């Protein structure tokens, strides 16, 4: 192994991203589904933002939150995919130390922002289904703006200490990261010092903030499901349950893979490294692809507006 990878150094100027360890020979083939996922995510989320912006009838709380979700997904996937594809296609594995910490910050902060948006959307659905008469007076534009600002500031401020703590540690073991991006726990584990402060802070944020988000979403959808089963007709129940069921699938796809990835990174030493890396990538790539499909295709107003655009172009 070369000296740059194994000899003593402190705060290296660059890290080396291995991609998916053990699957280097098929990196090009693996890049094909990842590239398709990224293309669908970019196209789908841009369409959501464009339609909501252009159609004044969609200027309502649900669609504002959906637009925020689309923008967040664009940033989240773009923080990971371009560098990943450069590794797969061009073997461009080096990443600057500061760029690595910046990527880490964007991934964590926008993941937390997206979690907050999902809570806001669950609250919007709760009011719309359980108390529809008060929906327009409860979720006014100023209230939506305040919720959105709180969600963004929470993600920005709570994650801000993470890269600063990571920058403090001396890295004198290796500069090789066995991943396709700068995952927080993978990076700080390379430090040759006590990193308990970083671990405690990240775990506290994960359990207290993300845990509370999951609790609020679960409470909202519990009340929503109770309201659905009390609807008078079977068709109404099936229609509303179908929409909420698809939303729940997106929420589960957002929260379960990162939980699995975090647990296997800390405790799953018997799990193959390439499986851990693939799971760590899935929770950043699959939700940005699924969200515009589920929330867009299942929303009648967006679906009908999209069909109108295609029909106008066809004529």
Range name among 110-119, 137-146, 235-244 with the lowest pLDDT average: 235-244
Among candidates 262, 289, 260, 272, which has minimal Cα distance to 34? 289
- Phi/psi of residue 169, each to 5°? -75, 145
96 phi, psi to nearest 5 deg = -60, 145
Three-class secondary structure of residue 232 per DSSP: coil
* pLDDT per position as a tens digit, 31-63: 999 999 999 999 999 989 988 888 888 888 888
For the chain, the helix, strand and coil percentages under 3-state DSSP, each to the nearest 5: 80, 5, 20
Q: What is the pLDDT of residues 246-258, one digit of tens each?
A: 777 788 888 888 8
Specify whether the CB–CB gap between 2 and 173 falls below 8 A: no
pLDDT digits over 107-135, tens only?
A: 999 999 999 999 999 999 889 888 888 88
Identify the residue with better confidence: 279 or 244: 279
Write down the pTM of the prediction: 0.89
Task: Give me the chain's average pLDDT, please.
Answer: 85
Of 184 and 300, the structure prediction assigns the larger pLDDT to 184
Burial of 8 (0-12, 13-18, 19+ CB in 10 A): exposed
Q: Is the confidence at residue 236, as pLDDT, over 80?
A: no
Residue 2: its pLDDT value, please?
42
């Amino acid at each position: 192994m070369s000296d740059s990878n194994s000899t003593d150094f402190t705060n290296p100027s660059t890290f080396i991203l291995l991609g998916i360890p053990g699957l280097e020979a098929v990196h090009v083939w693996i890049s094909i589904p990842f590239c398709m996922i990224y293309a669908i995510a970019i196209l789908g989320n841009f369409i959501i933002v464009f339609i909501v912006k252009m159609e004044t009838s969609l200027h309502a709380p649900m669609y504002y939150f959906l637009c925020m979700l689309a923008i967040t997904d664009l940033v989240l996937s773009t923080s990971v995919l371009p560098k990943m594809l450069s590794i797969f296609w061009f073997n461009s594995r080096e990443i600057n130390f500061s760029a690595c910490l910046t990527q880490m910050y964007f991934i964590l902060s926008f993941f937390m922002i997206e979690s907050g948006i999902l809570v806001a959307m669950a609250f919007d659905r709760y009011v719309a289904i359980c108390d529809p008469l008060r929906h327009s007076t409860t979720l006014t534009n100023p209230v939506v703006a305040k919720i959105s600002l709180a969600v963004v500031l929470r993600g920005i401020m709570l994650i801000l200490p993470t890269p600063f703590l990571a920058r403090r540690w001396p890295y004198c073991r290796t500069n090789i990261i066995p991943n396709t991006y700068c995952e927080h726990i993978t990076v700080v584990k390379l430090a040759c010092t006590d990193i308990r402060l970083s671990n405690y802070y990240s775990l506290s944020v994960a359990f207290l903030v993300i845990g509370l988000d999951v609790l609020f979403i679960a409470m909202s959808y519990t009340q929503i499901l109770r309201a659905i089963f009390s609807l008078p007709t079977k068709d109404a129940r099936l229609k509303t349950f179908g929409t909420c069921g698809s939303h729940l699938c997106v929420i589960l796809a957002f929260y379960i893979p990162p939980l699995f990835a975090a647990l296997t990174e800390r405790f799953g030493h018997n799990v193959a490294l390439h499986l851990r890396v693939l799971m760590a990538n899935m929770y950043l790539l699959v939700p940005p692809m699924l969200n515009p499909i589920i929330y867009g295709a299942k929303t009648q107003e967006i679906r009908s507006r999209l069909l109108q655009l295609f029909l106008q172009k066809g004529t």
